[in-house]
Structure 1
Amino acid sequence: MSARRDPALPEAVLFDRDGTLIEDVPYNGDPDAVRPMPGARAAVDAVRSAGVSVGVVSNQSGVTRGLLTRAQVDAVRLRVETLLGPFGVWAVCPHGPEDGCRCRKPAPGLVVAACGRLGVDPRRTVVIGDIGSDMAAAAAAGARGVLVPTPVTLPAEVGAATETAHDLRAAVLEALGRAPGAGGVR
């Protein structure tokens, strides 16, 4: 692990995929259907520019349900990276809610695995997502969570969130400890 320029910065920012980095298309296995959320590229680039590792943590139950193949999930990952740049790690859970695995959000497994692969401390990591299971996974792993509500976010999830941001730009500014308008993310 390289020396940190600013010890106040997190060691990593992990993004949820669907509804956070890209538009949520249920069980999307089609790279041509990938559309970045507004400001996603600038937000991820700001994290990279700060010298902070970036990764993705994503439930993809369509694999276990037979709606997607791992190859399709990989094809979508490659399209996301074409549009948003490379990520240091992708941690993907192919299981369904009834499988009882430890990786599927809200369990901590994806966050812990991503941090392990990046060589960072989960307690020095921020998870940015759009639903309560993203925040629960962050908390269960000892990470900080920032919720970016979308139309699918339940009011109870917003109410339970420790930190919220109105969009991805504001979430990244919070993650990096910068006030909105302080620069770095456009």
Structure 2
Amino acid sequence: MERKKSPERLVFFTDAVVAIALTLLVLPLADIVPELVASGKEPVDAITENFGPIFSFVLSFVVIARMWWGHHRIFEEIRAYSAPLVYVNFVWIFTIAVLPFPTEITGSFSANRFAAMFYTGTIFVSSAAQSAMVLIVRRDRTVAMSADSVTDRWLANTLLSTGALLIAFVAAAIEPTLGYYAMLLLIAAPWVAAWLTRGRAER
């Protein structure tokens, strides 16, 4: 008798990685305080002189939270894992674990082309892995809870988000600052997905 491939342990492990990544994001900001004390500056300078690192921290926190929520939704529709799902999930975990690194680089070198491409590229790969997981759940009936676990709107939203991040990565290669602004396209993805799938069964 084949054992049930419960996704619970995979979810617990993934959540632990996300929690650690979110914690690591703030460590560079904590290191600012001893530097201020050593140079005799005021506490408010921790904010006024560090807009770049603070902005990159907030942006990355929101990105990881958004990615985690998408991941949570995917695994709510999974009754058993498959080898492809595990492999893609580890790619997703890798990008989340790595993200604090490009976040710190971006905070220090926001207008640098490599920094912007490294940052947007990492998030793009993460989104691509998430899109792959959605496709696996949609197509593999041994994994999904039901045949309609992933709706057209959900799939469209996921693919459009990945496309938006690809645009951001290309924009960063052209003009670093433009790459960061292009990430705002993520806000439009759900609206466009709803428009493209209007009239169809919704999740």
| TM-score calculated relative to the size of structure 1 | 0.28
Normalized per residue, which structure has more strand? Answer: 1
Larger Rg: 2
Normalized per residue, which structure has more helix? Answer: 2
| TM-score calculated relative to the size of structure 2 | 0.26
